[in-house]
Amino acid sequence: MTSPASTSAPTGAAPPPAPARPPRLHEIDGLRGLAIVVIAVYHIWFDRVSGGVDVFLLLSGFFITASLLRSLERTGSVRPLAFAARIVRRIFPPALVVAAAAVLLTVLWLPRATWNQQLGDILASALYYGNWNLAVHSVDYLSSNNGASIVQHYWSMGVQAQFYVLWPVLIAASAGLAARTRWSRRRVLAAALALVFAASFAFALWETDANQAFAYFDLRARLWQFATGGLLAVALPRLRTAFAEPDAPQAKWTAAMLGWAGVAVLLGAGFFLESTEFPGLAALWPVGGACAVVVAASLSPGGGAGRLLNTRPVQWLGDLSYTLYLWHWPILICYLTATGRDTATVLGGLGVLAAATLLAWATHWGLEQRLPATGFGQRTIRGAFALGAACLALVLAAHAALTWYISFERDRLAEAAADTGRYPGAAALAEGLTVPEAAFAPSTLDAAEDYDPALSGRCNQTMEGYEPIRCDFAGGELVQSAGVELVQGGREAEDAAATVVMYGGSKIWQWLPAVLDAAEARDWHVIAYTKNACIIETGQEALGEERYRSCAAWNDAVVAEIDRIAPDLVLTYGSRVGYEAYETFPDYTDRYGQLVATGAAVVALRDTPSPRFDIPLCVDLNGRSASECTVDRASYYDEGAFEALEVPPGVHKVDLTDYICGPRACPPVVGNVLVYRDDAHLTNTYAATLGPYLEAELAAVLADPAAG
């Protein structure tokens, strides 16, 4: 990505009086060209991180620091509004036009099952918080099944935009401190940059070790790269002066060695470094390599690696680096989706590069050359912001149009699905119904969001959380969450016919619609305790990882609360079907004993199949009747194993698999209802159709708790 300050002064900028702008280093344009080639090649053919983006972050720090410092020394101010206007003119038009185009590419090329995710990512990217959006999704259990975003590469744009906000403040504060202390501005700034580098790099090392998926997108773990560029900008004049001395030993030889070493590091870093090591120690390699190239170019322009970097093709790629960065990833995602591949073939990758380069050239010509020449948004600060607003409006309009269509389809199918004759769901299996085929519900457009919102956020504990979160339901409605009464004057729990506790992880949570339907019909008071990715097996604290320690503590706390509540029935796990080949039976005996000791009847529910691939996505790509989307039931279950499972007295085994799978196969759509919302969990819509069958089982247990 070309830094906005790396080009010549934009139209409308004041002519640069002393101190004079340092001579342009064309090798840096070549460095950008080399970096974008490395990024594209590693993405397209190797599906690896290259370190090229780290180079762009360094160069942004270099150019922006130098630009703001010149403004400060020339005018006495960083002129933040004028600076912001230059940034908007430079980065908004290409980035936002490509973001708007990404909405169109989503509709044309990507599966409908991904549209909601893509729209959220595109909006976050257009508003320049895409890095935080991706960071949150990287650790969000509900988003763990998300595929690659068509604008995933915009995370670096978000990081840079946030840097553009922070850096004028840092430099202005440094100048203010220098004025008060009468120290040199450059020395104070160098000290401030060194402090930012040290703090951010230390934080990056810690967060990369503790939570690398989040750290990769975290501005705080990336600031050290900008600070490195800033330190380079401050130090470079002194380096030039030192090497300009007549007795500077072997200056050209040193510069040549530095330059070629830097190029070699940049080209080879992706082969030796893993993405899981960024932005920690591994990022030092591409950042250090880029520093070496810049220093070498400054000491000996045109020499050493400059012979490569100053060639016309590499310089041309440097000019296109920003727009080529913007286009290469969406084109690659569309190609991989269309071909069903994880990486490109040689010819396919060349096609991706050719298409991305052509679009990059057109965008560069139209928005980076012709648009400034028109003067639109170029002459005043207000005009620049108007230009930025117009570009943003283009993305928002595209986003709104597709959002409306998704909402329209959702409402249309919801209305159709109210006809239980055409949309019987589980009843089709239970009663052997012949159902005329219709457009299934929920649509793949919103299947991923087809879960009860009551158990996401305020009612559900995260993978890292320790404390139980209690939610109470009466009459099928959430009435109390985490101790906060949501429905005033609601019926007291003591008035209910029975109290039922749901206890477990997401594979218990998915049954909530069925439980609530039964509760409404039977006048039960339902209490839910759920925690993501947490099973009820005892002894998990010995496994060492934080999520196991938190799960163990949460389980113990929930059992203590159940003992205090003394419910009539507890609904929990009976088995586990994860990503292994067969159903497994963790040792729940001790936990069952604790629950039975509370006086409650315990229902151990057989786990539902986990298809191990995204069902809505598969249906989008192959069709509802495709064999690729239907899994052999025997691949999940060893029939007879659950019936043979020994449980303590007071524990009742319940198996509803026959209402989800046929005798031999588990289809993706049953009774015109989509069964799964991802690769493991039932849709809310299908779970609701299981209500009558779960109700019958729970009612039988409540009627005769002693029956085994």
User: What pLDDT was estimated at residue 592?
Assistant: 96
In this prediction, residue 301 carries a pLDDT of 87
Q: State how far the Cα of 538 lies from the Cα of 588, in Å rounded to an integer.
A: 7
CB 539 within 8 A of CB 552: yes
Q: Is residue 247 scored above 80 in pLDDT?
A: no
Which part of the chain has CATH 3.40.50.2300?
A: 447-610+636-656+675-702
| Banded model confidence at residue 23, pLDDT cuts 50, 70, 90 | low
Model confidence at 156, pLDDT cuts 50, 70, 90, reads very high
Instruction: Report CA 242 to chain centroid distance, whole Å.
Output: 46
Chain CA centroid to CA 435, Å: 39
* Residue 567 CB contacts under 8 Å (≥ 6 apart), including other chains: 498, 499, 500, 501, 527, 598, 600
Is 308's pLDDT higher than 60?
A: yes
Q: Which residue has the tokens 């659950």?
A: 642
Query: Pairing state of beta strands 569-573 and 631-632?
Result: unpaired
Q: 44: which 2 tokens?
A: 């397209």
Task: Give residue 545's pLDDT band: very low, low, confident or very high (50, 70, 90).
Answer: confident
Confidence of residue 544 (pLDDT cuts 50, 70, 90): confident
pLDDT of residue 182: 82
Integer Cα distance of 356 and 327 in angstroms: 5
pLDDT score recorded for residue 313: 96
Where are the extended beta strands (E) located within 601-705? 601-605, 631-632, 651-654, 665-666, 669-670, 673-674
Amino acid 477: pLDDT: 79
- The closest of 128, 124, 127 to 137, measured between CA atoms, is 124
pLDDT reading at 13 higher than 60? no
> What is the pLDDT at residue 271?
84
Length reported for the chain: 708
| Concatenated DSSP letters of 253-312 | HHHHHHHHHHHHHHHHHHHH--GGGTTTGGGHHHHHHHHHHHHHHHHSTTSTTHHHHTSH
Tell how strand 669-670 and strand 673-674 pair up: antiparallel
The pTM of the whole model exceeds 0.85: yes
Helices and strands (H, E) in the chain, number of each type = 24, 13
Give pLDDT, residue 243.
67
Residue 248: predicted pLDDT: 55
Strands 673-674 and 651-654: unpaired
| Token reading at 235 | 């130090």
Q: How far apart are CA 679 and CA 615, in angstroms?
A: 6
Q: Which of 290-299, 571-580, 611-620 has the lowest mean pLDDT?
A: 571-580
Q: Token digits for 347?
A: 């010819």
Longest dimension (CA), the chain: 99
Residue 5: per-residue pLDDT:
40
Chain-centre distance of CA 392, in angstroms?
Answer: 22
CA-to-CA distance for 349 and 336, rounded, in angstroms? 10
For 473, the 3-state DSSP assignment is strand
Residues 53-81 have a mean pLDDT of: 94
User: β-pairing, 484-485 with 471-474?
Assistant: unpaired
Of the two residues 453 and 640, the one the predictor is more confident about is 640
The number of CA neighbours under 13 Å toward the Cβ of 371 is 22
pLDDT in tens, 488-528: 444 445 678 999 999 999 899 999 999 999 999 999 999 99
- pLDDT at res. 237: 85
CB 320 within 8 A of CB 314: no
pLDDT digits (tens, 9 = 90+) for 636-659: 898 889 999 999 999 999 999 999
Provide the β-strand partners of residue 524: 498
pLDDT of 453 reads 74
C-alpha closest to that of 658 among 400, 497, 430, 346: 430
pLDDT greater than 90 at residue 132: yes
The predicted model gives 222-251 an average pLDDT of 81
The Cα–Cα gap between 518 and 513 comes to: 9
pLDDT value of residue 249: 57
Q: How many CB atoms lie within 10 A of CB 119?
A: 20
Closest CA to 224 of 253, 193, 254, 245: 193
On the question of pLDDT at 487 being above 70, the answer is no
Question: What would the mean pLDDT of 353-362 be, rounded to a whole number?
Answer: 98
Q: How do residues 319-345 score in pLDDT, each as one tens digit?
A: 999 999 999 999 999 999 999 898 999
CA distances, 674 to each of 229, 336, 445, 447, 686 (Å): 52, 26, 12, 8, 7
SS3 at position 399:
helix
Given this model, what pLDDT does residue 531 score? 92
Q: What is the mean pLDDT of residues 620-648?
A: 91
Look at residue 250 in the predicted model and tell me its pLDDT. 66
Report how far Cα 154 is from the mean position of its chain's Cα atoms.
11
CA pair distance 282, 206, nearest whole angstrom: 13
Name residues whose C-beta falls within 8 Å of residue 365's C-beta, 6 or more positions apart in sequence.
Answer: none
CB 442 within 8 A of CB 448: no
What is the tens place of the pLDDT at every residue in 379-409? 999 999 999 999 999 999 999 999 999 999 8
**Terminal Cα distance for the chain, rounded:** 67
The token duo for 17 is 């009086």
**Per-chain mean pLDDT for the chain:** 89
Q: 601-605 and 651-654 as β-strands: parallel, antiparallel, unpaired?
A: parallel
Q: Which CATH class is domain 447-610+636-656+675-702?
A: alpha beta
Determine the pLDDT at residue 11: 40
3-state secondary structure of 440: coil
Which position has the token pair 């993978």?
A: 463
Residue 515: the pLDDT is: 95
Side chain identity at residue 125, one-letter code: S
What is the distance between the alpha carbons of residues 247 and 243, in angstroms, rounded to a whole number? Answer: 8
